[in-house]
Amino acid sequence: MSQEASRSPEEVEWRVPGRIEVLGKHTDYAGGSVLVGAVDRAITARARRVEGPQSSLTATTGGGDPITLRAGVDPGLEPGHWGRYLQTVLDRLTLNFGAGVAAHLSISSDLPPASGMSSSSALVCATALALASLNGWDRDPRWIEAMPDRLSLAGYLAAVEGGRSWRDLPATSGVGTRGGSEDHTGMLCGVQDRLLLAGFDPMRIDRSLSFPSQWAFVIAVSGVLAHKTGAALEDYNRGPSTVQSVLARWNKATGRADASLAGAVRHLVGDATGDQAAGDPALRDLLELCEPGYEQERIEQFLIESLVLVPAGARLIAAADPGVGEVLQRSQELADRGLRNQVPQTRLMVSLARDMGAIGASSFGAGWGGSVYALVPADDAQDFASQWLQAYRDREQKAEQAAAIVTRPGSGACRLL
Protein backbone atom coordinates (compact mmCIF):
# COMPACT_ATOMS: atom_id res chain seq x y z
CA MET A 1 0.00 0.00 0.00
CA SER A 2 1.34 3.44 -0.89
CA GLN A 3 2.23 6.00 1.78
CA GLU A 4 -0.47 8.26 0.33
CA ALA A 5 -3.11 5.54 0.65
CA SER A 6 -2.00 4.79 4.22
CA ARG A 7 -3.04 8.29 5.24
CA SER A 8 -6.47 7.86 3.68
CA PRO A 9 -9.61 7.36 5.79
CA GLU A 10 -11.10 4.04 6.82
CA GLU A 11 -14.53 5.03 5.51
CA VAL A 12 -15.91 7.72 3.20
CA GLU A 13 -19.31 8.63 1.83
CA TRP A 14 -20.30 10.67 -1.21
CA ARG A 15 -23.74 11.89 -2.25
CA VAL A 16 -24.29 12.56 -5.96
CA PRO A 17 -27.63 13.96 -7.15
CA GLY A 18 -29.51 13.18 -10.30
CA ARG A 19 -29.93 15.94 -12.84
CA ILE A 20 -32.72 17.60 -14.74
CA GLU A 21 -32.06 18.52 -18.34
CA VAL A 22 -34.26 21.56 -18.89
CA LEU A 23 -33.19 22.10 -22.50
CA GLY A 24 -30.46 20.62 -24.66
CA LYS A 25 -31.77 17.29 -25.86
CA HIS A 26 -28.82 15.23 -27.15
CA THR A 27 -26.70 18.33 -27.79
CA ASP A 28 -23.81 17.77 -25.38
CA TYR A 29 -22.02 15.01 -27.27
CA ALA A 30 -22.12 17.26 -30.34
CA GLY A 31 -20.39 20.05 -28.39
CA GLY A 32 -23.56 22.12 -28.12
CA SER A 33 -25.34 24.00 -25.34
CA VAL A 34 -27.55 22.72 -22.53
CA LEU A 35 -29.54 24.15 -19.65
CA VAL A 36 -29.13 21.73 -16.76
CA GLY A 37 -29.28 21.50 -12.99
CA ALA A 38 -29.01 19.01 -10.16
CA VAL A 39 -32.12 17.71 -8.41
CA ASP A 40 -32.68 17.03 -4.73
CA ARG A 41 -32.72 13.23 -5.16
CA ALA A 42 -29.41 11.38 -5.12
CA ILE A 43 -27.35 8.21 -5.00
CA THR A 44 -25.08 7.79 -1.99
CA ALA A 45 -22.00 5.57 -1.98
CA ARG A 46 -20.30 4.66 1.31
CA ALA A 47 -16.93 2.97 0.92
CA ARG A 48 -14.90 1.33 3.70
CA ARG A 49 -11.68 -0.61 3.82
CA VAL A 50 -11.91 -4.38 4.20
CA GLU A 51 -9.51 -7.31 4.13
CA GLY A 52 -8.94 -8.73 0.69
CA PRO A 53 -6.91 -8.53 -2.51
CA GLN A 54 -5.90 -5.15 -3.89
CA SER A 55 -8.30 -3.53 -6.36
CA SER A 56 -11.16 -5.75 -5.23
CA LEU A 57 -14.62 -4.56 -4.34
CA THR A 58 -17.72 -6.00 -2.74
CA ALA A 59 -20.87 -3.97 -3.10
CA THR A 60 -24.47 -4.02 -1.94
CA THR A 61 -27.50 -1.95 -2.77
CA GLY A 62 -30.83 -1.87 -1.00
CA GLY A 63 -29.94 -4.74 1.31
CA GLY A 64 -29.57 -7.22 -1.54
CA ASP A 65 -26.94 -9.89 -1.99
CA PRO A 66 -23.42 -8.51 -2.42
CA ILE A 67 -21.51 -8.68 -5.66
CA THR A 68 -17.75 -9.18 -5.83
CA LEU A 69 -15.56 -7.41 -8.38
CA ARG A 70 -11.85 -7.45 -9.28
CA ALA A 71 -10.15 -4.91 -11.50
CA GLY A 72 -9.61 -6.34 -14.96
CA VAL A 73 -11.84 -9.38 -14.36
CA ASP A 74 -15.19 -9.67 -16.16
CA PRO A 75 -17.80 -10.06 -13.40
CA GLY A 76 -20.11 -12.12 -15.61
CA LEU A 77 -23.12 -9.94 -14.83
CA GLU A 78 -25.96 -9.49 -17.31
CA PRO A 79 -25.93 -6.36 -19.52
CA GLY A 80 -27.32 -3.35 -17.68
CA HIS A 81 -26.67 -4.77 -14.21
CA TRP A 82 -25.68 -2.01 -11.78
CA GLY A 83 -22.51 -3.91 -10.93
CA ARG A 84 -21.19 -3.34 -14.44
CA TYR A 85 -21.11 0.40 -13.80
CA LEU A 86 -18.99 -0.24 -10.71
CA GLN A 87 -16.71 -2.55 -12.69
CA THR A 88 -16.18 0.21 -15.27
CA VAL A 89 -15.14 2.62 -12.52
CA LEU A 90 -12.87 0.10 -10.78
CA ASP A 91 -11.08 -0.80 -14.01
CA ARG A 92 -10.52 2.82 -15.02
CA LEU A 93 -9.32 4.13 -11.66
CA THR A 94 -6.95 1.18 -11.27
CA LEU A 95 -5.49 1.82 -14.74
CA ASN A 96 -5.12 5.56 -14.15
CA PHE A 97 -3.99 5.66 -10.52
CA GLY A 98 -2.73 2.21 -9.57
CA ALA A 99 -3.94 -0.65 -7.41
CA GLY A 100 -6.33 0.34 -4.63
CA VAL A 101 -7.27 -1.11 -1.28
CA ALA A 102 -9.89 -3.82 -0.94
CA ALA A 103 -13.17 -2.05 -0.25
CA HIS A 104 -16.83 -2.59 0.46
CA LEU A 105 -19.28 -0.21 -1.16
CA SER A 106 -22.82 0.35 0.13
CA ILE A 107 -25.12 2.03 -2.38
CA SER A 108 -28.34 3.73 -1.36
CA SER A 109 -30.67 5.88 -3.43
CA ASP A 110 -33.86 7.89 -3.48
CA LEU A 111 -33.36 8.57 -7.19
CA PRO A 112 -35.72 6.50 -9.35
CA PRO A 113 -33.73 4.15 -11.63
CA ALA A 114 -33.93 4.40 -15.45
CA SER A 115 -36.20 7.43 -15.06
CA GLY A 116 -34.36 10.00 -17.16
CA MET A 117 -32.69 11.70 -14.17
CA SER A 118 -29.49 9.82 -15.00
CA SER A 119 -29.24 7.46 -12.07
CA SER A 120 -26.59 5.50 -13.99
CA SER A 121 -24.27 8.50 -14.26
CA ALA A 122 -24.92 9.35 -10.61
CA LEU A 123 -23.89 5.79 -9.71
CA VAL A 124 -20.69 6.09 -11.74
CA CYS A 125 -19.83 9.44 -10.14
CA ALA A 126 -20.63 8.36 -6.58
CA THR A 127 -18.60 5.17 -6.93
CA ALA A 128 -15.61 6.95 -8.44
CA LEU A 129 -15.59 9.74 -5.87
CA ALA A 130 -15.94 7.34 -2.93
CA LEU A 131 -13.13 5.08 -4.14
CA ALA A 132 -10.91 8.05 -4.98
CA SER A 133 -11.31 9.49 -1.49
CA LEU A 134 -10.85 6.12 0.20
CA ASN A 135 -7.59 5.48 -1.65
CA GLY A 136 -6.28 9.03 -1.57
CA TRP A 137 -6.29 9.17 -5.37
CA ASP A 138 -7.98 12.57 -5.27
CA ARG A 139 -4.78 13.90 -3.64
CA ASP A 140 -2.53 12.31 -6.25
CA PRO A 141 -0.67 14.92 -8.35
CA ARG A 142 -1.90 13.17 -11.51
CA TRP A 143 -5.51 13.57 -10.34
CA ILE A 144 -5.02 17.22 -9.40
CA GLU A 145 -3.31 18.04 -12.67
CA ALA A 146 -5.98 16.33 -14.79
CA MET A 147 -8.97 17.47 -12.69
CA PRO A 148 -8.12 20.76 -10.97
CA ASP A 149 -11.77 21.84 -10.60
CA ARG A 150 -15.31 20.49 -10.55
CA LEU A 151 -15.91 21.06 -14.26
CA SER A 152 -12.83 19.10 -15.34
CA LEU A 153 -13.76 16.38 -12.83
CA ALA A 154 -17.14 16.16 -14.54
CA GLY A 155 -15.33 15.76 -17.85
CA TYR A 156 -13.19 12.94 -16.49
CA LEU A 157 -16.12 11.05 -14.98
CA ALA A 158 -18.00 11.37 -18.26
CA ALA A 159 -14.93 9.93 -19.99
CA VAL A 160 -14.86 7.04 -17.50
CA GLU A 161 -18.48 6.25 -18.33
CA GLY A 162 -18.06 6.72 -22.07
CA GLY A 163 -14.78 4.83 -22.39
CA ARG A 164 -12.77 7.85 -23.57
CA SER A 165 -9.33 9.07 -22.57
CA TRP A 166 -9.13 12.28 -20.55
CA ARG A 167 -6.08 14.46 -21.07
CA ASP A 168 -3.16 12.08 -20.41
CA LEU A 169 -5.27 9.49 -18.55
CA PRO A 170 -5.91 6.51 -20.83
CA ALA A 171 -9.30 4.84 -21.24
CA THR A 172 -10.77 1.46 -20.49
CA SER A 173 -14.04 0.29 -22.00
CA GLY A 174 -17.00 2.31 -20.81
CA VAL A 175 -20.54 1.24 -20.01
CA GLY A 176 -21.60 1.08 -23.67
CA THR A 177 -23.23 4.46 -24.23
CA ARG A 178 -21.49 7.09 -26.33
CA GLY A 179 -22.88 10.13 -24.60
CA GLY A 180 -21.48 13.46 -23.51
CA SER A 181 -20.75 15.30 -20.29
CA GLU A 182 -24.04 17.08 -19.55
CA ASP A 183 -25.17 14.71 -16.79
CA HIS A 184 -21.87 14.83 -14.94
CA THR A 185 -21.67 18.63 -15.25
CA GLY A 186 -25.10 19.04 -13.67
CA MET A 187 -24.28 16.57 -10.90
CA LEU A 188 -20.83 17.90 -10.03
CA CYS A 189 -21.36 21.62 -10.60
CA GLY A 190 -25.02 22.04 -9.61
CA VAL A 191 -25.93 24.95 -7.34
CA GLN A 192 -28.97 25.23 -5.09
CA ASP A 193 -31.82 27.09 -6.81
CA ARG A 194 -29.78 27.73 -9.96
CA LEU A 195 -29.53 26.29 -13.46
CA LEU A 196 -26.35 26.07 -15.51
CA LEU A 197 -26.06 27.22 -19.12
CA ALA A 198 -23.18 25.03 -20.28
CA GLY A 199 -21.36 24.15 -23.48
CA PHE A 200 -19.00 21.33 -24.39
CA ASP A 201 -16.56 22.43 -27.10
CA PRO A 202 -14.73 23.44 -25.02
CA MET A 203 -16.32 22.37 -21.72
CA ARG A 204 -17.52 25.51 -19.97
CA ILE A 205 -20.27 27.03 -17.87
CA ASP A 206 -21.34 30.19 -19.65
CA ARG A 207 -23.83 31.30 -17.04
CA SER A 208 -25.43 30.34 -13.74
CA LEU A 209 -28.98 31.65 -13.60
CA SER A 210 -31.46 31.85 -10.77
CA PHE A 211 -34.48 29.58 -10.99
CA PRO A 212 -37.62 31.61 -10.19
CA SER A 213 -38.69 31.29 -6.56
CA GLN A 214 -42.35 31.25 -7.62
CA TRP A 215 -41.89 28.21 -9.87
CA ALA A 216 -41.25 24.53 -9.22
CA PHE A 217 -40.47 21.47 -11.26
CA VAL A 218 -42.87 18.56 -11.08
CA ILE A 219 -41.17 15.47 -12.48
CA ALA A 220 -43.40 12.60 -13.51
CA VAL A 221 -41.74 9.22 -14.01
CA SER A 222 -43.56 7.46 -16.83
CA GLY A 223 -42.92 3.94 -15.57
CA VAL A 224 -41.33 3.05 -18.92
CA LEU A 225 -37.76 2.28 -17.88
CA ALA A 226 -35.22 4.04 -20.06
CA HIS A 227 -32.81 1.11 -20.21
CA LYS A 228 -29.64 1.36 -22.31
CA THR A 229 -29.16 -2.25 -23.31
CA GLY A 230 -29.90 -4.26 -26.43
CA ALA A 231 -32.02 -2.47 -29.02
CA ALA A 232 -32.48 0.54 -26.72
CA LEU A 233 -28.70 0.98 -26.57
CA GLU A 234 -28.52 0.84 -30.37
CA ASP A 235 -31.27 3.48 -30.59
CA TYR A 236 -29.42 5.72 -28.14
CA ASN A 237 -26.05 5.36 -29.85
CA ARG A 238 -27.58 6.05 -33.26
CA GLY A 239 -27.65 9.74 -32.35
CA PRO A 240 -23.95 10.07 -31.45
CA SER A 241 -22.96 7.86 -34.40
CA THR A 242 -24.92 10.07 -36.80
CA VAL A 243 -23.31 13.21 -35.43
CA GLN A 244 -19.84 11.69 -35.77
CA SER A 245 -20.53 10.51 -39.32
CA VAL A 246 -21.62 13.97 -40.45
CA LEU A 247 -18.67 15.58 -38.67
CA ALA A 248 -16.23 13.19 -40.36
CA ARG A 249 -17.73 14.05 -43.76
CA TRP A 250 -17.48 17.76 -42.95
CA ASN A 251 -13.81 17.53 -41.95
CA LYS A 252 -12.97 15.48 -45.04
CA ALA A 253 -14.81 17.86 -47.38
CA THR A 254 -13.31 21.00 -45.88
CA GLY A 255 -9.88 19.79 -44.79
CA ARG A 256 -10.66 21.00 -41.29
CA ALA A 257 -10.23 19.10 -38.02
CA ASP A 258 -13.19 20.31 -35.98
CA ALA A 259 -13.58 18.30 -32.78
CA SER A 260 -17.37 18.58 -32.69
CA LEU A 261 -20.40 19.47 -34.75
CA ALA A 262 -20.67 22.65 -32.70
CA GLY A 263 -17.14 23.54 -33.82
CA ALA A 264 -18.15 23.15 -37.46
CA VAL A 265 -21.22 25.33 -36.87
CA ARG A 266 -19.11 27.96 -35.12
CA HIS A 267 -16.81 28.06 -38.16
CA LEU A 268 -19.82 28.83 -40.36
CA VAL A 269 -21.84 31.29 -38.25
CA GLY A 270 -19.50 32.36 -35.48
CA ASP A 271 -20.91 32.72 -31.99
CA ALA A 272 -24.32 33.92 -33.18
CA THR A 273 -27.43 32.33 -31.70
CA GLY A 274 -31.15 32.55 -32.38
CA ASP A 275 -33.38 31.69 -35.32
CA GLN A 276 -31.35 33.84 -37.68
CA ALA A 277 -28.18 31.90 -36.87
CA ALA A 278 -29.93 28.52 -37.17
CA GLY A 279 -31.30 29.56 -40.56
CA ASP A 280 -28.08 31.12 -41.85
CA PRO A 281 -27.49 30.11 -45.49
CA ALA A 282 -23.89 29.30 -44.57
CA LEU A 283 -25.14 26.20 -42.78
CA ARG A 284 -26.16 24.69 -46.11
CA ASP A 285 -22.52 23.66 -46.53
CA LEU A 286 -23.03 21.37 -43.54
CA LEU A 287 -26.61 20.28 -44.19
CA GLU A 288 -25.82 19.29 -47.78
CA LEU A 289 -23.52 16.60 -46.38
CA CYS A 290 -26.46 14.93 -44.59
CA GLU A 291 -28.43 12.08 -46.06
CA PRO A 292 -32.17 12.83 -46.42
CA GLY A 293 -34.42 11.52 -43.67
CA TYR A 294 -33.22 10.79 -40.14
CA GLU A 295 -29.72 12.13 -40.61
CA GLN A 296 -30.77 15.54 -41.88
CA GLU A 297 -33.59 15.82 -39.33
CA ARG A 298 -31.19 14.88 -36.53
CA ILE A 299 -28.72 17.60 -37.48
CA GLU A 300 -31.49 20.17 -37.90
CA GLN A 301 -32.74 19.26 -34.43
CA PHE A 302 -29.27 19.90 -33.03
CA LEU A 303 -28.99 23.29 -34.72
CA ILE A 304 -32.33 24.58 -33.46
CA GLU A 305 -32.06 23.07 -29.98
CA SER A 306 -28.53 24.34 -29.34
CA LEU A 307 -28.56 27.68 -31.17
CA VAL A 308 -32.15 28.75 -30.54
CA LEU A 309 -34.00 26.95 -27.79
CA VAL A 310 -31.32 26.62 -25.11
CA PRO A 311 -30.36 30.33 -25.05
CA ALA A 312 -33.99 31.45 -25.41
CA GLY A 313 -35.11 29.15 -22.60
CA ALA A 314 -32.34 30.36 -20.32
CA ARG A 315 -33.28 33.99 -20.94
CA LEU A 316 -37.01 33.41 -20.35
CA ILE A 317 -36.56 31.30 -17.20
CA ALA A 318 -34.19 33.87 -15.70
CA ALA A 319 -36.93 36.47 -16.28
CA ALA A 320 -39.68 34.14 -14.95
CA ASP A 321 -41.38 34.62 -18.32
CA PRO A 322 -44.14 32.04 -18.98
CA GLY A 323 -43.33 32.36 -22.67
CA VAL A 324 -40.78 29.63 -22.01
CA GLY A 325 -43.67 27.19 -22.48
CA GLU A 326 -43.55 27.79 -26.23
CA VAL A 327 -39.82 27.04 -26.24
CA LEU A 328 -40.40 23.77 -24.40
CA GLN A 329 -43.16 22.78 -26.82
CA ARG A 330 -40.89 23.38 -29.79
CA SER A 331 -38.13 21.33 -28.14
CA GLN A 332 -40.55 18.48 -27.53
CA GLU A 333 -41.76 18.49 -31.12
CA LEU A 334 -38.18 18.41 -32.38
CA ALA A 335 -37.38 15.45 -30.13
CA ASP A 336 -40.29 13.55 -31.60
CA ARG A 337 -39.46 14.41 -35.20
CA GLY A 338 -35.66 14.71 -35.17
CA LEU A 339 -34.44 12.44 -32.37
CA ARG A 340 -37.34 10.00 -32.72
CA ASN A 341 -36.85 9.05 -29.09
CA GLN A 342 -40.32 9.53 -27.67
CA VAL A 343 -42.80 6.86 -26.60
CA PRO A 344 -46.59 7.13 -26.27
CA GLN A 345 -46.33 7.47 -22.50
CA THR A 346 -44.03 10.51 -22.58
CA ARG A 347 -46.14 12.14 -25.28
CA LEU A 348 -49.23 11.58 -23.13
CA MET A 349 -47.60 13.05 -20.04
CA VAL A 350 -46.55 16.21 -21.89
CA SER A 351 -50.03 16.62 -23.38
CA LEU A 352 -51.75 16.14 -20.02
CA ALA A 353 -49.46 18.66 -18.31
CA ARG A 354 -50.23 21.31 -20.90
CA ASP A 355 -53.95 20.60 -20.72
CA MET A 356 -53.79 21.02 -16.94
CA GLY A 357 -52.29 24.49 -17.26
CA ALA A 358 -48.57 23.93 -16.72
CA ILE A 359 -46.34 26.83 -17.71
CA GLY A 360 -44.56 24.35 -19.92
CA ALA A 361 -43.68 20.66 -20.12
CA SER A 362 -41.04 18.53 -21.78
CA SER A 363 -39.56 15.08 -21.68
CA PHE A 364 -35.86 14.92 -20.85
CA GLY A 365 -32.94 12.52 -20.73
CA ALA A 366 -32.01 9.85 -23.21
CA GLY A 367 -35.57 9.11 -24.31
CA TRP A 368 -37.36 5.84 -25.09
CA GLY A 369 -39.09 6.13 -21.72
CA GLY A 370 -38.04 7.96 -18.60
CA SER A 371 -39.59 11.15 -17.29
CA VAL A 372 -41.32 14.38 -18.17
CA TYR A 373 -41.09 17.61 -16.21
CA ALA A 374 -43.69 20.34 -15.89
CA LEU A 375 -42.98 23.91 -14.87
CA VAL A 376 -45.75 25.03 -12.51
CA PRO A 377 -46.38 27.71 -9.85
CA ALA A 378 -44.71 26.55 -6.64
CA ASP A 379 -47.87 27.07 -4.56
CA ASP A 380 -49.78 24.64 -6.78
CA ALA A 381 -47.02 22.09 -7.29
CA GLN A 382 -48.13 19.36 -4.88
CA ASP A 383 -51.75 19.44 -6.09
CA PHE A 384 -50.58 19.49 -9.69
CA ALA A 385 -48.33 16.48 -9.08
CA SER A 386 -51.19 14.43 -7.61
CA GLN A 387 -53.67 15.36 -10.31
CA TRP A 388 -51.17 14.87 -13.14
CA LEU A 389 -50.21 11.43 -11.90
CA GLN A 390 -53.85 10.41 -11.48
CA ALA A 391 -54.78 11.66 -14.94
CA TYR A 392 -51.90 9.66 -16.41
CA ARG A 393 -52.87 6.50 -14.53
CA ASP A 394 -56.47 6.87 -15.71
CA ARG A 395 -55.30 6.77 -19.34
CA GLU A 396 -52.23 4.52 -19.25
CA GLN A 397 -52.75 0.87 -18.39
CA LYS A 398 -49.09 0.15 -17.65
CA ALA A 399 -48.61 2.92 -15.10
CA GLU A 400 -47.95 0.84 -11.97
CA GLN A 401 -44.41 2.21 -11.67
CA ALA A 402 -45.35 5.81 -12.43
CA ALA A 403 -44.56 8.42 -9.79
CA ALA A 404 -44.39 12.18 -9.43
CA ILE A 405 -42.08 14.35 -7.33
CA VAL A 406 -41.85 18.09 -6.72
CA THR A 407 -38.36 19.53 -6.82
CA ARG A 408 -36.17 22.54 -7.43
CA PRO A 409 -32.58 22.76 -8.65
CA GLY A 410 -30.34 21.36 -5.91
CA SER A 411 -26.71 21.29 -4.88
CA GLY A 412 -24.03 19.28 -6.62
CA ALA A 413 -22.12 16.28 -5.33
CA CYS A 414 -20.78 16.47 -1.78
CA ARG A 415 -18.67 14.36 0.54
CA LEU A 416 -20.58 13.38 3.68
CA LEU A 417 -17.89 11.46 5.55
Per-residue pLDDT band for 1 (boundaries 50, 70, 90) equals very low
**Residue 200 has what pLDDT?**
98
Q: What is the pLDDT of residues 216-255, one digit of tens each?
A: 999 999 988 766 555 666 777 888 999 999 999 999 999 9
Alpha-carbon distance of 295 to 104, in angstroms, equals: 45
**Residue 368 has what pLDDT?**
86
With both helix axes pointing from N to C terminus, report the angle between 230-254 and 294-304 in degrees, rounded to the nearest 10.
80
Q: Is the pTM higher than 0.85?
A: yes
Q: What is the pLDDT of residues 339-372, one digit of tens each?
A: 999 999 999 999 999 999 999 999 998 888 889 9
Per-residue pLDDT for 91 more than 80?
Answer: yes
Beta bridge partners of 410: 38
User: Of all residues in the chain, what percent carry a pLDDT higher than 70?
Assistant: 96
In the predicted model, what is the mean pLDDT of residues 373-402? Answer: 95
Per-residue pLDDT for 24 more than 80?
Answer: yes
**Residue 3 has what pLDDT?**
44
What are the chain's domains?
3-209 (3.30.230.10)
In the predicted model, what is the mean pLDDT of residues 27-55? Answer: 97
Per-residue pLDDT for 4 more than 70?
Answer: no
Per-residue pLDDT band for 259 (boundaries 50, 70, 90) equals very high
